[in-house]
A and B are shown apart, each in its own frame.
Chain A
Amino acid sequence: MFGTGELNDTLIRHKLRFIMAIIMIGFCVFVLRLGYLQIVCTGYYTEKSEDNRIRPVRLVPLRGVLYDRYGRGPLADNEMAFDICVTPNKAKFLQVPDKHRYEALQRLGLAPEAVLKELEANKGPEFEPVVIKRDVDKVTTAYLAEHNSYIQEMVIQARPKRRYKGLAVHTIGYTAPVNESDLGDEYKMNDLKGKAGVESVYEEYLRGKPGCKIVEVNAFGHTVRELPMGIKADPGQSINLTLDLELQSKAEALLEGKVGAIVAIDPRNGEVLVMVSKPDFDPNALQKDWKEIISDSSNPLLNRTIMGEYPPGSTFKIVTATAALEKGTVNTGTHFYCNGKFYLPNWSEPFRCHKATGHGSMNIHEALVESCNVFFYNVAHQKGVDVPLMHKYALMYGLGKKTGIDLFGEKQGFVPEIGKHRGDKINMCIGQGDLLVTPLQMANLICVMANRGFAYKPRIVSQPRSDKLEYAVDVRTQILPGTIDIIRKALNGVVKRGSSRQASLPDYETAGKTGSAENPRGDEHAWFIGFAPFDNPEIAVAVLVENAGRGSENAAPIAGQIFAQYFYKGQKRLAEGPGNSAISRNLR
């Protein structure tokens, strides 16, 4: 019966037996459960435990370093950047009040709520640290490392970051985190990939081979120790560019503040010594400045040496002269009279020479030296010299097609094949009209002159690391040596007596041709192409300054300074500038 209300030993003992039974059942359940977890399922849970603590960490290889032709520089190397990460399941600690944590968040400029929100959206693995702040400065990193025991949820991750010298920025290019489309076996999230210039062209040599280390981590994502397995990362191959660091920095200084391009090539092998495009950008701050850079109307990202297309102006007269001489319509005895104007029959406007009063009677040598337009108008007006002929020789000089330099994005310019109007060939013969060339093409053209009839394919990397790269490809033209000699002599005359005396040197014979290309956007583009020394050329230069005015005044002096830098390593320049010495010598 229930509810007797009597308390006696027998009854209590009876009830105790019931309680004992319940307790025994409870303990039996626990032992069975322990057996299930620890004996039946121990394999499963051991695996889970290892998944927790053992993590493969990708080792990002150091990217190959870029040096100049003499191993100087480095033009691009690596430094360590620090990112702050948080393991998603420990992120809640960010909200725990602590003076060190508060200080750290202040320095990082982060609000815990915002971070948590971001992490909530991130559906990654539980223990994979997520970057909450990239590129943290060294002082803050040191602070976090020092106070790590108070703010355990923050994990510092080091990663290599590209550091650029800031020279030849277009040529060298830049790196950026890979796009989603690149992700795969080779690239993982946040890997760097060359996005422009040499960084991009030689990506496969520079990037190296990633490795993997196996580490034991704690619940906060901190590495406790490295386990003795894994594969080391192979650093990328370093590359020597053909650029000459001193010459390059001199050229950059010369073009600073201007818009334009300079290319210098060693004509003996096609190695590019200088490649300047201005305005440029700071490749170290590209990510930060990106918006500003892409909205800049002067287009700093454009590598004007290979992507800028300009009318060649008078520099094209070399092509016209070649065509006429080869065709035989002109020889050294041919004279035309320049009175400053050229009247095309039944053409409303006269074509003008840059010297309004006229040059008088000119042969081809004088016409090139003085850059007389009227002489070339007359040449082009002759029967046989027409747009297709000039097109043929322009192509022979490498215009209208890519030079094949080992850089991406090269433009091919434009050389008209047929004239639509009678005036077209008159315009074309002095480098106007629809003609478009890149500074590199013009440097290549002057290399043909320097080499007396051939040029090597321009290259930017001097030590090819692969058989795929052709070494010094020789591009021969079919221009007769006689023709070349006539023009070369005239080009020497240009710097000796003509418009470009500032491109001459006291101890070396130089040669060149100026150009002042008319264009619809303002002042003429100033051109100068030239080489030195005259007999055994070592350096060929193309200088373009956009909307600067006459080439003789704005481009030729720059080339002169580059020649001086090349031959005197900048030592003599201060004592007697090449321009001044040339003038003084002329006066003598």
Chain B
Amino acid sequence: MIPKGIQVKEFDFVILCTTLLIGILGVLAILSAAYSGFGSSNGIWNELWMKQLIRLVVALVAMAVVLFVDYRILHGFSYILYGIGFALLLILLLLPEKSGVQRWFMKGAIQPSELAKIILIITLARYLSDMKRISGHLRVFIVAMLMVLAYVVLIFKQPALGYALSLIPIALSMFYIGGINEIYLLMMIIPGIVSASTTIFILYKGWSIASITGVTTVIASFVIYGICVFLAYFLISKTRVRDGKKWVKFISVCVFAGLVIAMVGSGLLKEYQKKRLMVFIDPDSDPRGDGWQIIQSKIAIGSGGLTGQGYLKGTQNRLDFLPAQHTDFIFSVAAEEKGFLGAVFILLLYFALIMRGLKAIDRADDVFGSLLATGVVAMIATQVFMNIGMTLGLMPITGVPLPLMSYGGSSLLATFISIGLLLNVRLKRQ
């Protein structure tokens, strides 16, 4: 049953196939990950891979539903959805605290952060497409930014630093495609990069930052940042692109702003978050604790060699040296058992998926669709980079799952629904 007005030839089978292929590879990797580390005497229906397979089917059905409903309907619902998402995140924060992490709702059945991501994409797409005529204005940027920040702060507070950070690249790419003035983006990106690297540097050097965590200092720092940004904007607002001197001034002001943020930001991090950043630089500084995951993941991947140790034969995985091998470190399992060739194959599948996604942005009927597709592609790409980068020791450890492969229902469902949106946008409607 194909809704009227849809040209079936525009349906992107490559996206569908890569998605399914990655999902099935994920189930196989989970089977291997749980092969010995977890009890296998619970009956086949309780096996993790079987659960994941069932979820895969459910997610596929959800994707089909999303696919057959015109995405434009979401345009009207978007602000309501935003409100619901906001409420969910807020409730989650107000719930009684359990073991410090509040990412889970009802024993992990629903993960609001995953849902919030999609909602944010839809809402931003709605707002930016509504404002497409005046998208270069500062007001649009500020409103959009506030919408993003509300979610980022709520998720950061859970605390789920990784999830919170993963929203920023999504927002930035949507801003970029949505026509927000690049100057504003630069005023975020440059201080962002500078502050992130400085924070890590400060932590690595072990400099005391405890003294600058007071509320007044935080406010003062943001005021300084605000002044810097204003100054930066003022410096180049009436400037043509090739005016080199002004650009140098602009960038130096942005860098200064980044340094200020780093001073404050490092103080805002929780102890375990600081530690994770530190072991990213030097895993051996805490080989038993947080460095453990990085070290063991690198050992797993490295010992895979060119062709891998063979399916179900990866010792790092089989003997539980790899932590969270069926969730966050599923890529390490695959890389250990399938080797360089298998790992590159998986990377290629993700690459193909993302490239086809970029094509969907280009081929969308309207700006709303374009922006939706942008958000979805950015979401998948960000998570792939964060997760695989983490397993390779290129990024700090954040609890971001590998989309389509990691064990976990919420993430799988969210990813399939997003890809459903992507395919939906891709469909040419007359």
Contacts and interface: CB of A to CB of B under 8 A. Distances in A.
Q: Is B truly associated with A?
A: yes
A38 B306 contact: yes
Interface in B255-301: 287-288, 292, 296, 298-301
Contacts of A44: 302
B321 interface: yes
Contact of A23 (B178, B354, B389): B354
B181 A219 contact: no
Contacts of B355: 20, 23
A8 to B, nearest CB: 10
Nearest to B305: A42
Contacts of A1: 240-241
Interface string B238-257: 00110000000000000000
B340 A7 contact: no
Given A2-B241, A20-B355, A34-B340, A42 B181 contact: no
Contact of A2 (B183, B318, B320, B350): B183
Contacts of A31: 344, 347
B89 interface: no
Given A19-B173, A33-B392, A45-B303, A6 B315 contact: no
B350 to A, nearest CB: 8
B320 A46 contact: no
A41 to B, nearest CB: 5
A585 interface: no
Interface in B358-412: 358, 361-362, 367, 370, 381, 385, 388-389, 392-394
Contacts, number: 147
A17 to B, nearest CB: 9
B14 interface: no
Given A16-B361, A19-B173, A20-B358, A6 B179 contact: yes
A27 interface: yes
A33 B320 contact: no
A219 B321 contact: yes
A218 B320 contact: yes
Interface in A371-388: none
A163 to B, nearest CB: 36
A48 B176 contact: no
A2 B233 CA distance: 13
A149 B321 CA distance: 16
Contact of B392 (A34, A48, A50): A34
A16 B362 contact: yes
Interface residues of B, number: 60
A12 B177 contact: yes
A3 B358 contact: no
A543 B229 CA distance: 103
A41 B302 contact: yes
Interface string A23-50: 1101101110111011101101110111
A3 B137 CA distance: 8
B339 A38 contact: yes
A400 interface: no
B370 A12 contact: yes
Interface of A is mostly: helix
B343 interface: yes
- Main SS class of interface, B: helix
A88 interface: yes
Contact of B347 (A4, A27, A42, A50): A27
Given A5-B135, A126-B287, A49 B315 contact: yes
Contact of B351 (A27, A216, A217): A27
A477 interface: no
B354 A30 contact: no
Contact of B361 (A3, A12, A48): A12
Nearest to A87: B288
A54 B196 CA distance: 40
A13 interface: yes
A513 to B, nearest CB: 72
A116 B269 CA distance: 26
Interface string B330-348: 0000010001100110010
A191 B392 CA distance: 43
B132 A48 contact: no
Interface in A259-302: none
Contact of A219 (B177, B183, B319, B340): B319
A15 interface: yes
B232 to A, nearest CB: 13
Contacts of B159: none
B394 A23 contact: no
A577 B134 CA distance: 123
A24 B351 CA distance: 8
Contacts of A23: 351, 354-355, 358, 381
Contact of B288 (A34, A37, A38, A89): A89
B127 to A, nearest CB: 14
Contacts of A5: 132-137, 179, 181
Interface string B13-36: 000000000000000000000001
A196 to B, nearest CB: 41
28 contacts: A2-B181, A2-B182, A2-B183, A2-B241, A5-B179, A6-B179, A12-B361, A15-B177, A16-B358, A23-B381, A24-B351, A26-B381, A33-B393, A34-B343, A34-B392, A38-B305, A38-B306, A38-B335, A38-B340, A49-B303, A49-B321, A52-B319, A53-B315, A53-B319, A89-B292, A126-B287, A216-B319, A218-B319
The 10 closest A-B pairs by CB, nearest first: A45-B302, A5-B136, A3-B181, A218-B319, A49-B303, A38-B340, A219-B320, A3-B136, A42-B305, A37-B302
Given A3-B136, A126-B288, 13 more contacts: A2-B182, A5-B134, A12-B361, A16-B177, A19-B177, A27-B350, A30-B389, A48-B303, A49-B299, A53-B319, A218-B320, A218-B321, A224-B319
Interface of B: 36-37, 39, 132-137, 173, 176-179, 181-183, 240-241, 287-288, 292, 296, 298-306, 315-316, 318-321, 335, 339-340, 343-344, 347, 350-351, 354-355, 358, 361-362, 367, 370, 381, 385, 388-389, 392-394
